[in-house]
């Protein structure tokens, strides 16, 4: 495990939730620059809530979130985006009445002054060629897999320093799931820092270098994915007997 001192993202003692209840109890989480880190755990464990707190969509009730050494616990979502975080939320968050190209433009909006937008457009549509073919198409008419690719591409348009993906395989056909994980792996190998939430533990543990198991708002296990794959809890509960 890392010390957290030099991590790109460093969460300490985080507590957060909705209404009167806490969902996340006391979580520490680190993502080093260049790493892909996954969060796995059952439905309702608090994985999405945790990354919403990282992105500033849910307020921290205790603890801290540091990004690149800076305490951002009190910062708004747009400030965190500007600092280089990009979240692809559960359900993708696309502007479904806009075209593929317009959605991609929105992704670059926050950093439009610094970016060469045509070059970014070229880069992301090379990564997802289907988006180039469908540039003019309205997002609502894309397939589930195409929408997920668009959501990831839109996040990449801002050249994020940390890409946060919430369930990228959800609602996507199996062949497309494989393609999406291949792209996540390629992005990681090209140096993008990624925090990945996934129900598909098998895939997540293959593409990430480290992972955390979240259950009932707490981290019950964490470490190198090679070790997690061998742990009895992960094998029995998350990978099934065939692992
Ligand atoms: N906006 C909300 N208001 C109130 N409770 C919420 C809200 N969003 C989530 N919760 C509750 O918080 C808990 C954790 O939900 P969360 O979405 O973080 O889990 P998750 O681990 O992402 O689950 P899944 O794998 O199903 O996506 C659940 O009990 C859920 O019902
Ligand atoms: Mg979730």
**With DSSP H G I counted as helix, E B as strand and the rest as coil, what are the percentages for the chain, rounded to 5?**
40, 25, 35
Contact 36, 207 (CB under 8 A): yes
pLDDT at 3: 46
Contact 153, 124 (CB under 8 A): yes
53 plus 89 within the same structural domain: no
Residue whose CA is closest, atom 10 of ligand 1? 18
Confidence of residue 39 (pLDDT cuts 50, 70, 90): very high
CATH number at residue 61: 3.40.50.300
74 plus 90 within the same structural domain: no
223: phi > 0 → left, psi -120 to 50 → alpha, else beta; which? left
70 plus 133 within the same structural domain: no
The answer to whether residue 141 sits within a structural domain is yes
33 plus 99 within the same structural domain: no
pLDDT at 9: 98
Which has the closest alpha carbon to 83: 170, 8, 179?
A: 8
pLDDT at 4: 45
**Helix, strand or coil, per DSSP, at residue 117:** helix
Contact 138, 109 (CB under 8 A): no
CA–centroid distance, 45 to ligand 1, in Å, is 7
233 plus 219 within the same structural domain: yes
Q: Which domain holds residue 74?
A: 1-83+191-243
Confidence of residue 1 (pLDDT cuts 50, 70, 90): very low
Nearest-atom number in ligand 1 for the CA of 17 is: 12
- The model carries a pTM of 0.94
CA–centroid distance, 100 to ligand 1, in Å, is 29
For all residues of the chain together, what is the average pLDDT? 92
Which pLDDT tens digit goes with each residue over 112-138?
677 888 999 999 999 999 999 999 999
pLDDT at 241: 53
Nearest-atom number in ligand 1 for the CA of 50 is: 18
Distance CA 161, CA 158 (A): 9
- Write the DSSP assignment of 141-205 as a string of letters: GS-HHHHHHHHHHHHHTT--SEEEEE-TTTT--HHHHHHHHHHHHHHHHTT-EEEEE-S-HHHHH
Residue whose CA is closest, atom 1 of ligand 1? 18
User: Quick check: 44 pLDDT over 70?
Assistant: yes
41 plus 105 within the same structural domain: no
The answer to whether residue 17 sits within a structural domain is yes
74 plus 17 within the same structural domain: yes
10 plus 77 within the same structural domain: yes
45 plus 103 within the same structural domain: no
The answer to whether residue 46 sits within a structural domain is yes
The answer to whether residue 211 sits within a structural domain is yes
Into how many domains does the chain fold?
A: 2
Distance of CA 218 to CAs 10, 14, 49, 91, Å? 16, 10, 12, 24
Helix (H) or strand (E) segment spanning residue 60: none
**Residues contacting residue 43 through CB under 8 Å, at least 6 positions apart:** 199
Q: Which of 116, 137, 160 is the last residue of a domain?
A: 160
100 plus 146 within the same structural domain: yes
- Residue among 39, 46, 57, 197 whose CB has most ligand 1 atoms within 8 A, to mutate: 46
45 plus 92 within the same structural domain: no
Tell me the backbone φ, ψ of residue 24, rounded to 5 degrees: -100, 125
Q: Which of 111, 138, 160 is the last residue of a domain?
A: 160
94 plus 43 within the same structural domain: no
pLDDT at 243: 40
- Residue among 27, 45, 238 whose CB has most ligand 1 atoms within 8 A, to mutate: 45
CA–centroid distance, 50 to ligand 2, in Å, is 9
Which pLDDT tens digit goes with each residue over 184-234?
999 999 999 999 999 899 999 999 999 999 999 999 999 999 999 999 989
Share of the chain above pLDDT 70, in %: 96
Distance CA 42, CA 122 (A): 38
Q: Which of 143, 160, 177 is the last residue of a domain?
A: 160
């Amino acid at each position: 495990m890392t010390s957290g001192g030099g991590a790109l993202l460093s969460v300490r003692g985080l507590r957060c939730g909705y209404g009167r209840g806490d969902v996340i109890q006391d979580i520490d989480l680190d993502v080093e620059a260049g790493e892909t880190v996954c969060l796995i755990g059952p439905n309702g464990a608090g994985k999405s809530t945790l990354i919403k707190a990282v992105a500033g969509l849910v307020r921290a009730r205790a603890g801290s979130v540091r990004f690149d050494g800076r305490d951002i616990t009190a910062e708004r979502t747009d400030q965190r985006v500007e600092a280089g975080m990009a979240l692809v939320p559960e359900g993708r968050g696309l502007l479904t009445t806009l075209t593929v190209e317009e959605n991609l433009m929105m992704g670059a909006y926050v950093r439009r002054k610094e970016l060469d937008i045509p070059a970014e457009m070229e880069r992301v549509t090379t990564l997802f060629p289907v988006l180039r073919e469908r540039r003019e198409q309205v997002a609502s008419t894309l397939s589930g897999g195409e929408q997920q690719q668009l959501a990831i591409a839109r996040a990449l348009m801002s050249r994020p320093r940390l890409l946060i993906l919430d369930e990228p395989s959800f609602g996507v056909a199996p062949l497309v799931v494989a393609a999406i994980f291949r792209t996540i792996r390629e992005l990681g190998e090209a140096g993008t820092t990624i925090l990945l939430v996934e129900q598909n533990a098998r895939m997540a543990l293959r593409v990430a270098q480290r992972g955390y198991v979240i259950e009932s708002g707490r981290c019950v296990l964490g470490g190198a994915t090679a070790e997690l794959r061998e742990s009895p809890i992960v094998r029995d509960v998350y990978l099934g007997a065939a692992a």
